[in-house]
Structure 1
Amino acid sequence: MPNFINPYNFVRCGKPSLRKPYVSVRRFHGLSGTITCELKTITPIFIGGPREGDNQRIRFFKINGEPAIPATSLKGVIRSVAEAASNSCFSIFDDQHIIYRDVPERSKRAGVMRQNANGDWFIDEVEEIVVKNIDLQRMLGQKPSHGLQVRFNAEPGGTYGRRRVVRVAPANSGSCSEEGTLRRYDRGLPPNVISQGYRVAKSSSVSYQVQPEIRQKYKVVIEAIVDPITPEQEKRRWQSCLMDLNGAFVYFQPDKQQVKSFGKNRRYKWVREYSTRQLLERIHDGGFLPCTSRQQLCFCCRLFGTVGEGENQQVAGRVMLEDALIQASYPQLQQVVLRILGSPKPKYHPFYVTTGRRAAPKGLASYDDADSQLRGRKFYWHHPTDSNYQREPNQRLGNQNVQVELLPAEAMFTFKVRFTNLEEVELGLLLYALCLNDNDPDGTVAHKLGMGKPIGLGSAKITVTDLQAHRDADRWRPMASAPNNNIAHYIGIFQTHLQQENDGLSFDQIPNIVDLKDVLTTQALAASIEYPPPYGEGFRWFMKEKRQGYRQPLPCTKQTRDENKTLKDH
């Protein structure tokens, strides 16, 4: 089986940039002006426009009938690089509670939820006796119901060492030897319940307390299950149903005399100990958390702006990108059914999480470890220019892929960047983020933008063709000297600044700069770049890795680029 390289990797976080108060766009002591840029596509590119029909057909974004790249797309790409290069905050960060289904089956017990008069919650452990292939209504002489007291006979033979009911009778009958209670359970979530059934619960004298934080975690699980697939009204109905726990039959994992986790079916999902935000907080003591105050802004939030938190904390950016317009002659758009894009899997911790220790067993860490932290900022590798990477082999439109208008390689766009009141070092960062310190149309360091990055779309080279800078304050000074318009001059100022922030370390040896260059270099890698093969069945690779104890952590950018480390197919 061939080895492969995961489509994305991570740029490490270095030393956080110093946070300072915002700079008003109305102050005129800095540099203002215009940067003119060219963007050349290296691989086919797709920028989403209007959707058609069943939303599986998407046109290319156009301005006046011609393909274009909106300023918002450009700004997102440039800001992402600028944040990684300058060690700015994670301005766009989705705090996630990772939901999983890893609780060992045999560590679970059955019980009934109970709330006492003081509002405290408990699970009363019960023996769960399986009810299967029995006509309950005929044996009981009435319709079965949740909480109904019954008598029963049971024998060994159920799964997980449980007994199974062979006969059941009304509670006042003397024909069966044991007493219990019928407890209903559902497979699936309302209103899409796959099946309903009953268990007989035989009481015991053992109870376990359910602490408030455990119920809160259960609520997080329910919200995670409901949020992606239901409208608001249906969501509330599901939550009400699932949160009505008093008297519910549940499965749980005990921890001494308390409950560690619980759910309404034996294969319930649970939430990892720490959220992604908590793991981000551990990197340099929270130095990369999103900026929230205009008095404490990182390098990029001062440059590009931020919404902040709370009243009057918004900050306007001092950089404005214009739409990129295509040149007169360009390759014809192609109707292409894309390969299945797949999706990132943050819950797969060997890819997303690393350890804060110098060494860890096999280099692995998880969302349950007290010293784990996020790997860094996600970027996608450049693919070879072979278009077969992007196309669905038989060009059939299924329920997991889309048909798009694809713009082939060698298309040329132009756009302008206008800036106001920047310090020289800020202009240097902006120029670095645009041309990646490789201001050559045939250079080997390039951006990724648009849709389809995991399958090789969106590689593009940006070149700065002109810089016009002036100081507004000098307009009224007849003898003032004109600012330097040399691109390398300002990039050099930024490089010197970053070296000083990193204790004099050479610019090309600063960890985040090393990783950024490794992942954005267009030179070919040692193996194919793809999600785990075979195509369309990558989930099997993740399932096998999980069963085998997560043996393969994600190689870092340097290991992938310089040491030819890959992931192994099974």
Structure 2
Amino acid sequence: MSDHYKSQQNKHNDSSKKVPPKEDRFVNPYNFVPLETVCYREWISEEGDSQTEKLTGYIECFIQLKTPIFIPNTSYDRAFTEDREDKPKSYDFFSYENLSGSQPISRKEKHSEPVIPGSEIRGVLRSVHEAAFNGCMSSVQENRQLSRRSVEQKKPGILRWNQEKNEWEIQPCERLMLNVTCEQEGHGQLMPRKDYYSLAEGLKIYVKSSKRRYKNRSYMNYVVEEYSLVEKKGDRWKIGYLHKGEPFGKKKHHESIFVESTEESCLPVSLEELQRLKKVLSKYNSEENRHLKEKFRPHRGYATYEKNFSRKIAEKKDVLVYYSISEQDTQIVAQYLSPSMLSQEVFLNDIEHLLKSNGGYQPCVDRNCVCKTCQLFGMVSKEKGNSLGSRLRIEDACVLDSLRQDDTALYYYPEIELPEMGEPKPGSAEFYVSRPLETEHINKSDHWTYDYVQLPDKKIEKDKLRTPLTASEIKIRGRKFYWHHEGWKSVIRKVYQYDSTSKSQSANAPEAEKGNKKMIQIIRPLRQKLRDSQQPLTFKFNVYFEQITQQELTNLLWTLDFEDPKCAHKIGRAKPLGLGSIQIQVDQVYQRRINKSNGEWELTPISREHCKLEVLSSSRQTMKRIATWKPLDFAQQVSYPQIDEANNGSKVNDAASHKWFTANRKAQGKFDKTLPTVEEELNTESKWLYKKRK
């Protein structure tokens, strides 16, 4: 390691000692239970093990709510709002009643008897069982593509077919800034936007470059001082190509002209990179990117570029692209092609390869060779006749006592608008993947993805390159679970205020937040305690088991209640906001068998003392830590990553989570903070996460 790099690392380490105030700390809503070394699968014979006694019976269970919970009745998605495009979807709590066609106004004054579906309970139990007893990751979407927006500026180039070498390559270019905003000194010759939009992508254009960079700043490009659509000759005139970028609001004052570099050699490009660019374009053209609208025209997700790209590749014509450089088998190559300088990157290492390389935790597919969890809960295979039936049946959980129909507010909070929570973003490697281990060919890095590591100091020539990672060199953190906390109180308090004197509730109706309205939902959560008596709302259900071993029963009982009254499960929606905490209590366990003397079925109680786990594995210990319900020191600090609100100014969306991740990638993209482990959250202050200040 060079002295320069060491000095940069020391500077980084010194600055990290400046710990922010504790009140700036936040705890990410989720963390991970690590995987074990390998997912152990057993060969199962059709006859089974005749030497081991098998048990059949059921477990009586109760559920007590620790926080409000919400499970939607999906029979109607307009339970509290008008059936109009401009109104968000709204759901009532799950019940056996079909709400289709009910009137929103009248529904607010009614309620059905709530039910917690057995399928929901089953999903919760399966997730815990997989984590606690080293099962496969059955619910993971193996074919999900991992991607992330890169903060590193890509280089401009022309993707060109080399007839002699019979391969694609990149011709490096210089990017010039084309003024499309206003006639102002230093901006270059103006091309009116109506003219700009009328021109084709990749059009040859003759340009004269300015002598100084834009605003004379070293990190900016030169501007197009003059341009012409007809041929121009002269020392300063060059041939350029128009590259049409996406709309970017009022901040975007220039577009791009690519001029071939005479100083850089062409770089090879694999066919795999062309396929990856197609995936990037497909992501940009997906539905979630189409809601952005600009002053002049809506963002179309590079639809035209995508169509032209496929045609030009088929015809072996030039395509304008941006790219990054990597070192591959001692050769410098172009990778991660994109239509923009700052772009999404689709990674080669997908979830399927990562699970296989991290101990074989991909979902089970062969009924004759399955993990402990699939043996008990069953598995579904795409191959006909290869699925495995479950040996468990879980009832719906029903309220212990009948509910009064004349007082909806006794059992339910009024309907609330859920904040936008989005979906999981495993592309955030600093939260989902541990730092790659330092090896002979991988130096310690402060920035990594699912495909490569990159040293932070670009002043060293070799650090400009990305060092590729194999799937086996990437350590995924494990299985995601949510902390228990009481952040739900602030969500309800913001919208509704409870008048304890008049026993009435009044709505301070929130204004719909700006953003994608398709992400906003209105729900009516179930109270954790009856409003008047403050008695906990209790549900009852049974778990039926058939032909399972004593050890499987022991594992199942631990999965239900953790053998610890301080632990609880999470169920339903809005778990990151604190909703969904439930505690399952095992009441009685019965074995059902035939009395050989009279041939009748009989029930025999099974003592819980005979079903205790003597030794806790590290996975179960971590599972219990994150499932602990007792008040935690940081319970009030659980939230998604955020920018310090005191320094937000008045800009819309400045406090959004993605702003924190942007700020967390410091100079040259290195990570300032990574997600602490469960143990580090509880014990190691130096690893804590803090709000970022702008």
TM-score normalised per structure 2: 0.69
Match of 2:551 among 383, 401, 425: 425
Q: Name the counterpart of 1:113.
A: 159
- Going from structure 1 to structure 2, the CA distance change for 1:557 and 1:268 (only over 3 Å counts) comes to closer
Match of 1:558 among 679, 684, 694: 679
Q: Name the counterpart of 1:499.
A: none
Secondary structure, aligned partner of 2:608: helix
Q: Name the counterpart of 1:166.
A: 225
Match of 1:92 among 135, 139, 143: 139
Distance in 2 (alpha carbons) for counterparts of 1:92 and 1:2: 35
> Are positions 1:352 and 2:478 aligned together?
no
**Per-residue CA distance 1:177-211 (angstroms, 9 max, x = gap):** 5341432323159xxxx999562534648322211
Answer with 269-278 or 374-383: which moved more: 269-278
Residue identity matched to 1:486 = I
**Per-residue CA distance 1:12-66 (angstroms, 9 max, x = gap):** 2235453224576999972222222111101111111132144432111112431
Match of 2:541 among 415, 422, 434: 415
Match of 2:282 among 205, 223, 226: 223
Match of 1:185 among 241, 244, 253: 244
**Per-residue CA distance 1:147-206 (angstroms, 9 max, x = gap):** 5555443223445553332233455555785341432323159xxxx9995625346483
Distance in 1 (alpha carbons) for counterparts of 2:623 and 2:242: 57
Answer with 367-376 or 274-283: which moved more: 274-283
- Going from structure 1 to structure 2, the CA distance change for 1:514 and 1:148 (only over 3 Å counts) comes to closer
Match of 1:337 among 416, 423, 426: 416
Distance in 2 (alpha carbons) for counterparts of 1:487 and 1:88: 26
Distance in 1 (alpha carbons) for counterparts of 2:609 and 2:663: 52
Q: Name the counterpart of 1:47.
A: 71
Match of 1:265 among 310, 330, 340: 340
Residue identity matched to 2:225 = V
Q: Name the counterpart of 1:502.
A: none
Distance in 1 (alpha carbons) for counterparts of 2:633 and 2:278: 45
Q: How many residues align?
A: 538
> Are positions 1:154 and 2:227 aligned together?
no
Q: Name the counterpart of 1:101.
A: 149
Q: Name the counterpart of 1:514.
A: 621
Distance in 1 (alpha carbons) for counterparts of 2:120 and 2:675: 28
Would the aligned equivalents of 2:595 and 2:602 in 1 still touch at CA under 8 Å? no
> Are positions 1:251 and 2:322 aligned together?
yes
Distance in 1 (alpha carbons) for counterparts of 2:445 and 2:160: 43
**Per-residue CA distance 1:443-491 (angstroms, 9 max, x = gap):** 21111101111111111111122222234xx555769998863252453
Q: Name the counterpart of 1:504.
A: none
Would the aligned equivalents of 2:418 and 2:522 in 1 still touch at CA under 8 Å? no
Quote how far apart the aligned CAs of 1:430 are: 1.6
> Are positions 1:73 and 2:193 aligned together?
no
- Going from structure 1 to structure 2, the CA distance change for 1:322 and 1:55 (only over 3 Å counts) comes to farther
Would the aligned equivalents of 2:568 and 2:629 in 1 still touch at CA under 8 Å? yes
- Going from structure 1 to structure 2, the CA distance change for 1:25 and 1:200 (only over 3 Å counts) comes to same
Residue identity matched to 1:104 = E
Q: How big is the alpha-carbon RMSD for the aligned residues of Structure 1 and Structure 2? A: 3.7
Quote how far apart the aligned CAs of 1:109 are: 2.9
**Per-residue CA distance 1:302-351 (angstroms, 9 max, x = gap):** 11111124332211111111111113255421223245253443222222
Would the aligned equivalents of 1:129 and 1:164 in 2 still touch at CA under 8 Å? yes
> Are positions 1:454 and 2:576 aligned together?
yes
Q: Name the counterpart of 1:467.
A: 589
Residue identity matched to 1:425 = Q
Would the aligned equivalents of 1:112 and 1:124 in 2 still touch at CA under 8 Å? yes
Match of 1:326 among 387, 392, 399: 399
> Are positions 1:57 and 2:90 aligned together?
yes
Distance in 2 (alpha carbons) for counterparts of 1:365 and 1:268: 16
Would the aligned equivalents of 2:566 and 2:630 in 1 still touch at CA under 8 Å? yes
Would the aligned equivalents of 1:121 and 1:209 in 2 still touch at CA under 8 Å? yes
Quote how far apart the aligned CAs of 1:3 are: 1.3
User: Structure 1: where are the runs of 5+ without partners?
Assistant: 497-506
Residue identity matched to 1:280 = L
Match of 2:386 among 313, 318, 324: 313
Distance in 2 (alpha carbons) for counterparts of 1:385 and 1:469: 41
- Going from structure 1 to structure 2, the CA distance change for 1:241 and 1:177 (only over 3 Å counts) comes to closer
Secondary structure, aligned partner of 1:403: strand
Secondary structure, aligned partner of 1:60: coil
Quote how far apart the aligned CAs of 1:81 are: 0.9
Q: Name the counterpart of 1:201.
A: 259
Would the aligned equivalents of 1:123 and 1:208 in 2 still touch at CA under 8 Å? yes
Secondary structure, aligned partner of 1:153: strand
Distance in 1 (alpha carbons) for counterparts of 2:486 and 2:542: 29
- Going from structure 1 to structure 2, the CA distance change for 1:377 and 1:181 (only over 3 Å counts) comes to same
Match of 1:131 among 178, 184, 188: 178
Residue identity matched to 1:271 = V
Distance in 2 (alpha carbons) for counterparts of 1:526 and 1:469: 42
Quote how far apart the aligned CAs of 1:267 are: 1.7
Quick one: percent identity of the two aligned structures? 24
- Going from structure 1 to structure 2, the CA distance change for 1:101 and 1:130 (only over 3 Å counts) comes to same
Secondary structure, aligned partner of 1:206: coil
> Are positions 1:278 and 2:349 aligned together?
no
Would the aligned equivalents of 1:427 and 1:490 in 2 still touch at CA under 8 Å? no
Distance in 1 (alpha carbons) for counterparts of 2:607 and 2:39: 23
Quote how far apart the aligned CAs of 1:542 are: 2.0
Distance in 1 (alpha carbons) for counterparts of 2:34 and 2:192: 63
Would the aligned equivalents of 2:285 and 2:302 in 1 still touch at CA under 8 Å? no
Residue identity matched to 1:491 = C
Answer with 173-182 or 522-531: which moved more: 173-182
Residue identity matched to 1:38 = F
- Going from structure 1 to structure 2, the CA distance change for 1:242 and 1:466 (only over 3 Å counts) comes to farther
Q: Name the counterpart of 2:657.
A: 538
Secondary structure, aligned partner of 2:431: helix
Would the aligned equivalents of 1:169 and 1:175 in 2 still touch at CA under 8 Å? no
> Are positions 1:445 and 2:567 aligned together?
yes
Distance in 1 (alpha carbons) for counterparts of 2:65 and 2:627: 14
Residue identity matched to 2:413 = Q
Quote how far apart the aligned CAs of 1:74 are: 0.7
Quote how far apart the aligned CAs of 1:87 are: 0.7
Residue identity matched to 1:332 = Y
